[in-house]
Amino acid sequence: MTEEISKIGFIKELCATADNMYRLGWDERNGGNISYLIPEAEVKQHFDCSKVLRTIPLGFDAKELVGKYFLVTGTGKYFKNVKEDPENNLGLIRIAKDGVSAELIWGYSDGGKFTSELPAHLMSHITRLKVDPENRVVMHTHPTNLLAMTYVHELNTKTFTHTLWEMCTECIVVFPDGVEVLPWMLCGTNEIGEATAEKMNLSRVVVWSLHGVYGAGKSLDETFGLIETVEKAAQIYMLTAHLPRINTIKDEEMLQLVKRFGVQYRKDFLNVK
């Protein structure tokens, strides 16, 4: 990898994000994956897009994303290694005209390929782009406390969200669309991808019970911060769930917050008149 490529903004940014997620203990071994939609004009500033290194089957018909470029973490790769060796651990792909394969423009230098969860990522990208055309990031990770919470809390979207909103004053402001919750499903399949994408119509956060979480956003920073806030709330819940609750954030107080910050929230998730 040349020094010039190592300084490219979107590659440098993803390297830093992956490194931070590993440092926090969210992405053990080869756990976790990230896909980042990069505008064509930005890609062409740094790469000759007429040169395709190889074509890789997607395992999914992504015709709605034909021609779009994604920077994607590799299958079997460890987040702890991304920063030191991005050319091996990341790949820049373009969705081919047939919609069912990807053209590798750069990366996966050891002959590897994108994460096995890419079909699920692409399904979520398709959904989120329809909800908000500025959503360019899908991030899957295993935050410790959020994962633990799925073992001890009712797996119901409304009650799960309400509990998290009660944990920190900022929560209903940061994720007013709540968190959607899926039951345990087999990972790496199109079925869990389809279920996740359907939930992404309603929320930027989808919890995979007993596994991890999917988050979506406009940038790596925003998406990381979104998951970070959910994880902090889950941590506070896990620290206090076994203790008597003396104080809490009331629904009427959460209503004050959404009015103060002007956010649209899931109105049926609060018990207020």
Residues with catalytic roles: 117
Closest CA to 90 of 28, 38, 39: 38
Pairing of strands 212-217, 205-208: antiparallel
Q: Where are the beta strands (DSSP E) in 84-217?
A: 90-95, 101-107, 137-141, 180-182, 205-208, 212-217
Q: Which residue has 């209903």 as its token pair?
A: 172
Q: Where are the alpha helices (DSSP H) in 63-188?
A: 79-82, 86-89, 118-131, 144-152, 157-165, 171-174
Q: Which residue has 């505008």 as its token pair?
A: 39
Residue 230 burial (CB count, 10 A)? 28
What token pair was written down for 150?
A: 């799925």
